[in-house]
């Protein structure tokens, strides 16, 4: 791979526009070539006002000199978007679905620290519903990786794969319900303001309908962050989450948790399922 060093974090709006314009010309397939570039952003410092807005909308405590475990995803997202909106990225940005994220925090991250971000596409893989890309984000202090994540994004298209078995389609037994959250219609706009992710499917019913949704939907990373804020996370450890179904706004959802597992449901529909633990696996 080739490292490309950036002087500043890219602006998201032009990347969204470029990705939208290029999407109709993309023909996704798992054996397609993909960008072999690592984007590197050194000397990054956190905007504390924006961090506080993120903490408030996601339910984290404010004022601590510590980044929530999900926040580095926000820092790395503009770099990921630069890669995924580029001409040489084979999946169309429009309709791309964030299906999972795995996060490992190797040490606490002070909010006042200086960090280096690295983001790259690790590869493509076949999925029974299309083609999935894996995007890796790393946060370094000096030469040490202190936080890293791996996200999967799905481009849906016809495949020859067999349908999902009925046993896998069936929802798992619900976890004990701990809270009911009534979600306001502006959650998407508030999270967008804090995170910079202004995808139109999250902002209003009008713009969401353009993409086939009856109402605006909550950001997937907001649902994970809200669950982790309620569950609590160790200063060193892992978070794993899968996005199963969109959360329509406004709406009411039930947060459930047991031991290291959490989930978010709307009635019988499972939206998010995940695990938080204090172990860091040896595999890197």
pLDDT digit string (tens) for 92-128? 998 888 999 999 999 999 999 999 999 999 999 999 8
Residue 148 forms beta bridges with which residues?
104, 138
- C-alpha distance from residue 203 to each of 175, 219, 227 (Å): 30, 10, 21
- Give the side-chain half-sphere CA count within 13 A for 281: 11
Torsion sign (Cα): 16, 22, 28, 32 = negative
**C-beta atoms surrounding 232 within 10 Å:** 9
How many helices (H) and strands (E) are present in the chain, helices listed first? 7, 11
- C-alpha distance from residue 184 to each of 29, 197, 215 (Å): 38, 18, 12
- Give the pLDDT of residue 161: 62
Eight-state DSSP code of residue 62: S
- Give the pLDDT of residue 165: 56
Q: What global pTM score does this model have? A: 0.92
- Give the pLDDT of residue 169: 46
Residues in the chain, pLDDT under 70:
161-171, 279-284
What gap in Å lies between CA 96 and CA 243, rounded to an integer?
13
**C-beta atoms surrounding 78 within 10 Å:** 22
- Give the pLDDT of residue 284: 44
Per residue in 44-72, pLDDT tens?
Answer: 999 999 999 999 999 999 988 999 999 99
What gap in Å lies between CA 241 and CA 223, rounded to an integer?
10
What gap in Å lies between CA 252 and CA 56, rounded to an integer?
19
- Give the pLDDT of residue 235: 87
According to DSSP, the β-strands at 261-266 and 130-141 are unpaired
- Give the pLDDT of residue 167: 46
- Give the side-chain half-sphere CA count within 13 A for 240: 8
- Give the pLDDT of residue 199: 84
- Residue 275: partners with Cβ closer than 8 Å, 6 or more residues away: 238, 239, 240, 241, 260, 261, 262
């Amino acid at each position: 791979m080739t490292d490309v060093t950036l002087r500043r974090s890219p602006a998201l709006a032009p990347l969204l526009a470029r990705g939208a314009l290029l999407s109709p010309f993309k023909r996704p397939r798992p054996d397609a070539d993909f960008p072999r570039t690592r984007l590197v952003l050194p000397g990054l410092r956190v905007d504390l006002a924006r961090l506080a807005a993120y903490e408030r909308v996601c339910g984290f405590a404010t004022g601590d000199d510590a980044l929530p475990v999900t926040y580095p995803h926000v820092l790395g997202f503009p770099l990921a978007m630069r890669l995924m909106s580029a001409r040489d990225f084979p999946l169309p940005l429009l309709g791309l679905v964030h299906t999972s994220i795995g996060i490992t925090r190797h040490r606490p991250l002070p909010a006042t620290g200086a960090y280096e971000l690295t983001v790259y596409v690790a590869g493509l893989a076949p999925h029974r519903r299309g083609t999935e890309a894996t995007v890796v984000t790393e946060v370094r202090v000096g030469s040490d990786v202190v936080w890293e994540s791996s996200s999967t994004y799905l481009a849906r298209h016809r495949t020859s794969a067999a349908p999902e078995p009925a046993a896998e389609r069936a929802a798992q037994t619900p976890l004990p319900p701990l809270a009911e959250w009534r979600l306001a219609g502006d959650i998407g706009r508030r999270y967008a303001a804090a995170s910079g992710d202004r995808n139109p499917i999250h902002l209003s019913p009008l713009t969401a309908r353009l993409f086939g949704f009856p109402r605006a939907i909550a950001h997937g990373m907001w649902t994970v962050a809200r669950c982790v804020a309620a569950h609590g996370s160790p200063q060193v450890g892992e978070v794993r989450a899968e996005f199963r179904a969109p959360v329509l706004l406004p709406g009411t959802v039930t947060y459930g948790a047991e031991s290291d597992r959490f989930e978010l449901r709307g009635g019988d529909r499972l939206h998010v399922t995940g695990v938080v633990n204090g172990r860091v696996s040896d595999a890197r």
